[in-house]
């Protein structure tokens, strides 16, 4: 344990000395620690994953939804027909923020068949306090994010919950799932027919075999 503590201390010290431009010290440390965070939580991910095994159809069409993107423009989900969609609630100051990089890799890998969409939110321990413009700049500069980002909003079940996340987390609407995001970087996969097929918790990396298998499933 002492050796581990010393190793972590050295890692943190090096990270502070090599602070990344465009990131706070906290963000630099979290980015460096991300592999260790995922390794320590890997076992929980599979157990918390939820699957629409009965292929229950939503009572409200996914394609009827719309929201504002991070630039304030209307984003209509009808434009996503025929593709799988991975919706993720995101934050800039979270231990799982390193998943931005994996999400970008996922989008590049399945560019023809998948659309990744990020929904910045400040719902967990105030880990996304930036405004929309700053969020967009942070994601582009530090993680090369090119997939669509929506305007910062509320994603958990409370007043003014984003309508998209209301659809994702209310089984009377989506047909089967009542799970709201448990933390930042939870993932919801919608298939080509507009049916919610999977919920992956923050402890499942976007490039995990569980996610890839779900995306590749016909």
CA dist 57 and 59 (Å) reads 7
SS3 sequence of 131-159: CHHHHHHHHHHHHCCCCCEECCCECCCCC
pLDDT tens readout for residues 142-182: 999 999 999 999 999 999 999 999 999 999 999 999 999 99
Residue 15 lies in a domain: no
Residue 165 lies in a domain: yes
Residue 106 lies in a domain: yes
Residue 28 lies in a domain: no
Quote the DSSP letter at residue 54: T
pLDDT tens readout for residues 178-203: 999 999 999 999 999 999 999 999 99
Bigger pLDDT: 21 or 122?
122
Q: What pLDDT score was predicted for residue 21?
A: 61
Of 89, 116, 118, give the one whose Cα is nearest residue 180.
Answer: 89
Residue 27 lies in a domain: no
pLDDT tens readout for residues 61-75: 999 999 999 999 999
CA dist 41 and 39 (Å) reads 6
CA dist 9 and 32 (Å) reads 12
- CATH number of residue 208's parent domain: 3.40.30.10
Residue 91 lies in a domain: yes
Residue 201 lies in a domain: yes
Q: Which of 38, 80, 88, 94 is catalytic?
A: 94
Q: What pLDDT score was predicted for residue 12?
A: 52
Residue 32 lies in a domain: no
Residue 146 structural domain: 46-216
Identify the weakest region by mean pLDDT among 14-28, 50-64, 188-202.
14-28
How many folded domains does the chain comprise?
Answer: 1
Of 52, 94, 70, 62, give the one whose Cα is nearest residue 185.
Answer: 94
Q: What pLDDT score was predicted for residue 31?
A: 79
Tokens 């906290």, located at residue: 26
H helix and E strand count, the chain: 7, 7
**Under the phi-then-psi rule, with left for phi > 0, alpha for psi from -120 to 50, and beta for the rest, what region is 49?**
beta
Of 133, 137, 146, 142, give the one whose Cα is nearest residue 97.
Answer: 142
Q: Is 186 one of the annotated active-site residues of the chain?
A: no
């Amino acid at each position: 344990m002492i050796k581990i503590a010393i190793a972590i201390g050295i890692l943190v010290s090096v990270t502070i000395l090599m602070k990344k431009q465009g990131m706070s010290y906290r963000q630099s440390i979290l980015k460096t620690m991300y592999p260790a965070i995922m390794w320590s939580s890997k076992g929980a991910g599979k157990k918390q994953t939820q699957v629409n095994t009965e292929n229950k159809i939503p009572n409200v069409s996914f394609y009827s939804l719309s929201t504002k993107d991070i630039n304030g423009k209307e984003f209509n989900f009808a434009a996503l027909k025929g593709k799988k969609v991975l919706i993720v609630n995101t934050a800039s100051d979270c231990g799982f923020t390193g998943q931005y990089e994996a999400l970008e890799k996922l989008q590049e890998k399945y560019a023809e068949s998948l659309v990744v969409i990020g929904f910045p939110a400040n719902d967990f321990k105030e880990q996304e306090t930036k405004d929309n413009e700053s969020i967009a700049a942070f994601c582009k500069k530090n993680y090369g994010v090119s997939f669509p980002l929506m305007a910062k909003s509320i994603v958990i079940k409370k007043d003014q919950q984003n309508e998209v996340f209301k659809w994702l987390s209310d089984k009377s609407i989506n047909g089967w799932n009542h799970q709201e995001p448990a933390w930042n970087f939870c993932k919801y996969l919608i298939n080509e027919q507009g049916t919610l097929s999977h919920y992956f918790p923050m402890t499942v990396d976007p490039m995990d075999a569980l996610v890839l298998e779900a995306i590749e499933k016909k």
